[in-house]
């Protein structure tokens, strides 16, 4: 009896050893098996920024569709989502877990400058593929560690410059003001507006900041009125953007609002009502309702997760984070490794996806897009105003 026990133990040990020995062979390239590619993200699915978690849900639904089509080169894509509640310490734990336990090939997206900043060094040191963290571009410009980073997210600073120039040169506005959120995002907008106006020999007539915790922006709007601004550039969250638009609509004469692309979601027309009519908003991919391919993607997402219908732009933005990565997988072929993936991504030149258009990467180029277009919102429906407006490639 005891003998039997021992032999069982020995067998068990042998199995464990065999399993351990097999590990390094299987784990040749982290996150890639013959049948699967493992990707992960950490997103605010609970807590104050939960609505932005829709980007992760958008990616999830789109990957479900890709897997239903048979995946890419015989590999399906597993997407691991972790909740960080918009808290940097938890985002760090999630990324560590995704890389070290789950063993992901890459991290897709990431919401919040703070969360991205907290994990940045770890991701760079461990040479993890990182697709489009949805944050400002400053940390990447001039950074030598971004070999495994690919970004298709507009630059707030450049966008603000384009908005300010458009207000002055195309709309003939002489008194430009800005309402911005007092954080990294808003500050980038402020910098862009100041610099663009300075180039034209002007300066903002009012710079009004608000806090995330503010629940009323009517005083802020009054300051715009006092400064007799005829155009206001807006860097705000959807809720604050709607509040600001409603308050600005009370002014006489009513200033022209130009807003950041983060307020491009049609939900703005519902939040702000008629006050959102006439607002000029940029986008970095065609609006749903104006482009067949985009509509098709939205339909794919909503079929798989009906909740996304209410958050169309955010869900689609999620897809823009991952779309070029999927093209990279296609180009890298069946023999996928980290380096073959990077080479494949660098071969992407002026590529049109379902959502993104004109994506270009290259050796030493990690900024995938460098253009936006402007549209005027009427009753929640965008009317395109300009063709693509390009801005410099900086990283």
Site residues (CB under 8 A) for another protein?
42, 45-48, 50, 53, 80-90, 92-94, 96-97, 99-101, 113-114, 117-118, 121, 182-184, 187, 211, 213
What is the smallest separation between the CB atom of 136 and another protein, expressed in angstroms? Answer: 9
Cα separations (Å) of 141 from 117, 146, 151, 183? 14, 9, 12, 19
Which residues neighbour 82 within 8 Å (Cβ) at sequence distance 6 or greater? 40, 41, 42, 43, 94, 97, 98
Of the two residues 80 and 230, which places its CB atom closer to another protein in the complex?
Answer: 80
What is the smallest separation between the CB atom of 184 and another protein, expressed in angstroms? Answer: 5
Of the two residues 10 and 96, which places its CB atom closer to another protein in the complex?
Answer: 96
What is the smallest separation between the CB atom of 212 and another protein, expressed in angstroms? Answer: 8
Of the two residues 169 and 182, which places its CB atom closer to another protein in the complex?
Answer: 182
Of the two residues 139 and 225, which places its CB atom closer to another protein in the complex?
Answer: 139
> Closest Cα partner for 181 from 116, 237, 219, 227?
237
Of the two residues 106 and 353, which places its CB atom closer to another protein in the complex?
Answer: 106
Of the two residues 82 and 194, which places its CB atom closer to another protein in the complex?
Answer: 82
Of the two residues 321 and 341, which places its CB atom closer to another protein in the complex?
Answer: 321
Whether 126 contacts 135, CB under 8 Å: no
Q: How far is CA 293 from the centre of its chain?
A: 19
CA within 13 Å, CB half, 127: 8
What is the smallest separation between the CB atom of 373 and another protein, expressed in angstroms? Answer: 29
Runs of H (alpha helix) within the chain: 2-26, 54-68, 88-97, 113-125, 156-165, 184-199, 218-226, 238-248, 267-272, 292-304, 312-332, 338-346
What is the smallest separation between the CB atom of 185 and another protein, expressed in angstroms? Answer: 8
What is the smallest separation between the CB atom of 91 and another protein, expressed in angstroms? Answer: 9
Of the two residues 209 and 290, which places its CB atom closer to another protein in the complex?
Answer: 209
What is the smallest separation between the CB atom of 187 and another protein, expressed in angstroms? Answer: 8
Cα separation, 148 vs 290, whole angstroms:
34
Whether 254 contacts 281, CB under 8 Å: no
Cα separation, 214 vs 209, whole angstroms:
10
What is the smallest separation between the CB atom of 387 and another protein, expressed in angstroms? Answer: 34
What is the secondary structure of 277-303 as a DSSP string? TT-EEEESSPPTTT-HHHHHHHHHHHH
What is the smallest separation between the CB atom of 183 and another protein, expressed in angstroms? Answer: 4
What is the smallest separation between the CB atom of 54 and another protein, expressed in angstroms? Answer: 11
What is the secondary structure of 241-264 as a DSSP string? HHHHHHHHTTSSSPPEEEE-GGG-
Neighbours of 362 (CB within 10 A): 14
Of the two residues 93 and 251, which places its CB atom closer to another protein in the complex?
Answer: 93
Of the two residues 173 and 220, which places its CB atom closer to another protein in the complex?
Answer: 220
Cα separation, 304 vs 125, whole angstroms:
36
Helical (H) or strand (E) element with 384: strand 381-384
For every residue of 175-214, which 3-state class applies, written as one string? CEEEEEECCHHHHHHHHHHHHHHHHCCCCCCEEEEECCCC
Which residues make beta-bridge pairs with 151? 367
């Amino acid at each position: 009896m005891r003998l039997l026990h021992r032999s069982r133990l020995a067998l068990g040990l042998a199995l464990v050893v065999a399993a351990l020995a097999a590990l390094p062979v299987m784990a040749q390239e982290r996150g890639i098996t013959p049948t699967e590619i493992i990707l992960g993200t950490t997103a605010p699915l609970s807590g104050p920024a939960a609505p932005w978690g829709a980007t992760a849900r958008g990616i999830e639904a789109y990957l479900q569709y890709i897997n239903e089509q048979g995946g890419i080169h015989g590999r399906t894509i597993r997407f691991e989502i972790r909740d960080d509640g918009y808290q940097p310490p938890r985002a760090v734990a999630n990324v560590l877990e995704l890389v070290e336990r789950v063993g992901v090939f890459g991290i897709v997206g990431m919401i919040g400058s703070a969360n991205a900043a907290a994990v940045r060094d770890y991701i760079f040191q461990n040479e993890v593929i990182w697709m489009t963290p949805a944050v400002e571009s400053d940390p990447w410009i001039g950074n030598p560690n971004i070999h495994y980073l690919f970004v298709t997210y507009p630059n707030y600073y450049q966008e603000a410059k384009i908005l300010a120039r458009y207000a002055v040169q195309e709309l003939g506005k002489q008194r430009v003001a800005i309402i911005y959120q007092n954080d990294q995002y808003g500050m980038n907008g402020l910098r862009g507006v100041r610099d663009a106006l300075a180039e034209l020999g002007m300066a903002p007539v009012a710079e009004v900041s608000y806090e995330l915790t503010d629940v009323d922006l009517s005083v802020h709007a009054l300051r715009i009125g006092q400064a007799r601004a005829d155009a206001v550039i807006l860097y705000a969250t959807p809720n604050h953007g709607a509040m600001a638009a409603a308050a600005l609509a009370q002014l006489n004469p009513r200033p022209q609002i130009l807003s950041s692309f983060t307020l491009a979601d049609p939900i703005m027309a519902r939040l702000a009502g008629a006050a959102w009519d006439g607002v000029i908003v940029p986008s970095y991919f065609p609006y749903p309702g104006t482009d067949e391919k985009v509509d098709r993607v939205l339909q794919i997402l909503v079929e798989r997760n009906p909740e996304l219908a209410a958050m169309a732009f955010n869900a689609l933005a999620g897809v823009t984070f991952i779309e070029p990565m999927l093209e990279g997988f296609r180009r890298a072929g069946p023999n996928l490794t980290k380096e073959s993936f990077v080479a494949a991504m660098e071969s992407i030149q002026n590529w049109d996806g379902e959502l993104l258009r004109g994506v270009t990467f290259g050796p030493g180029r990690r900024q995938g897009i460098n253009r936006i277009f402007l549209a005027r919102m009427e009753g929640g429906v965008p009317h395109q105003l300009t063709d693509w407006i390009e801005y410099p490639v900086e990283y």
